[in-house]
Every structure is written in structure tokens, then in C-alpha cells.
Amino acid sequence: MESGPSLDSVIAAVDGALRAVFAPAHASRAAPGSTASGERLTEADRRASAALMRVNHAGELAAQALYHGQALMARSAAMRDMLMAAARSESDHLAWCETRLTELGARPSLLNPLWYAGSFAIGAATALLGDRASLGFVAETERQVEGHLDEHLGRLPAGDQRSRAILETMRAEEIAHGAAAAAAGGSRLPAVMRALMRRTARVMTGTAYWI
């Protein structure tokens, strides 16, 4: 018989949320690229790169929230463990974006608590549809993130090789995560849900670019 999340799981979810939103992100791997002293960005290029990396930071925070929400409401321990492992893997991306924002003299989105809360709710609701739907949601999310990163790679200033190296590494790993979710049995989401995901992502990315 299926049961709801345990008290320990709820406490862990609250702790994970507080750490993701308010604590400095920590990476298990060094950020790709280098901050060579020869890198010189104009002020306009610095602002452009910072705005794009703020969007990516918000997106990685939302990814953490999606995985945490899905894990909380997952129907099996195996699925919960898989989702939390994915969240830990993605945490490097969050830390890399945060580090790059600091290097660019910029701040994260002021609306990060909102992005986290909304994404956590979406993840939890998706998990209630079952494991195959949950995996399908991961696969579709990563597919859309791939497209988003392709766009940002095209918009980055040519001189910002550090940000480019970070985004290229993230892109390769997001593709791998999506393929793993599909291979694990993720079902393709209905077209209306895929469209809703795209619209929701546009609201977040468009707002985080400025705020």
C-alpha cells in the first residue's frame, strides 16, 4: 500500500530548500574553463554575460527544486534515490553559475525563492502521476534546457570563454540526464503539457534576465 512522504522526508525537503535558496552553492568539481588574466570584457559584454548567467543560475535552482519535489512524492525508494542522485549531480551546475556571477560582479535573481517554490510544487505534482510520468518530465525538461543553452551559447559575447565553457559542459550533461530518464522508462508527455512547460520557462527566463 502506498503512503505519503515520511516526516524525515519532509524535514529533508525543507532543509534542501533552505540550502538551495539561501546557502552558497558548493561544487564537487572545478568549474570548466579558466579565468585567465588575459580575459577582458567590455562593460557591455560583462552586463550581457551576467544577465545570461543569472538566467542559467535561476534555471539550475529550479532544476534542484523540481528534483526535490519529485523525490518527496516519489512512489518508490528506488525512484527517490535516482532523483536525489540527479539533484546532487546538477548541484555542480548551480555552483558553477553562481561562481561565474560573482566573477562577473553580478547577483543572482532576486526572485529565486519564487522560482524554487513554484518548481518544487510542479515537481511534486508530477510525481503524483507515477514514476513513468515523472521520468518523462525529467526527459522533457532536459530537452528544453538543451534548447535554452543552445540559444545562450549563441548570445554570449565572443570574448567570454569562461561562461561558454561552463554552458557547453552543462549542455552535454543535461543531454545525458535526459537520455537516462528516457531509457529508464520515461513516457512522452502530452503536447499540451510540453507547451505549458515552455511557456512557464519563458516567464522565468525573461524575468530572471532583469530581476
- CATH number, domain at 109? 1.20.1260.10
pLDDT higher than threshold 70 for residue 175: yes
- With respect to residue 22, please indicate whether it lies within any of the assigned structural domains: no
Structure letter (DSSP) for residue 189: P
Residues 6+ apart with CB under 8 A from 68: 13, 16, 17, 20, 84, 87, 120, 123
Query: Which cell is 168 given?
Result: 557547453
Flag whether 171 is in a domain: yes
Rounded to an integer, the average pLDDT of 117-143 is 87
| Domain assignment of residue 193, yes or no | yes
Identity (one letter) of the amino acid at 188?
R
| 24 falls within a domain | no
Q: Given the C-alpha cell 515523472, which residue does it identify?
A: 134
Q: Is residue 107 part of a domain?
A: yes
Q: Which three cell numbers stand for residue 110?
A: 532576486
Measure the CA–CA gap between 120 and 54, rounded to whole angstroms. Answer: 19
Total domains in the fold of the chain: 1
Residue 27 lies in a domain: no
Q: What span, in angstroms and rounded, lies between the C-alpha atoms of 161 and 69?
A: 34
Burial 19-55 (b: 16+ CB within 10 A, else e): ebbeeebeeeeebbbeeeeeeebeeebbebbbebbbb
pLDDT value for 160: 93
Range among 55-59, 86-90, 122-126, 205-209 with highest mean pLDDT value: 55-59
pLDDT tens, residue by residue, 75-104 = 888 888 888 887 887 889 999 999 999 999
Task: Tell me the one-letter amino acid at 79.
Answer: M
3 pLDDT tier (thresholds 50, 70, 90): low
Domain extent for 54: 43-208
Confidence of residue 1 (pLDDT cuts 50, 70, 90): very low
- Cβ within 8 Å of residue 80, ≥6 positions away: 9, 71, 74
Q: Is residue 10 part of a domain?
A: no
Residue 117 lies in a domain: yes
pLDDT-based confidence at 196, cuts 50/70/90?
Answer: confident
Q: Report d(CA 1, CA 8) in Å as an integer.
A: 19
Global pTM value: 0.85
- Copy the grid coordinates of residue 161: 570563454
What's the mean pLDDT in 167-185? Answer: 89
DSSP state of 23: S
Over residues 15-44, the mean pLDDT reads: 72
Confidence of residue 23 (pLDDT cuts 50, 70, 90): low
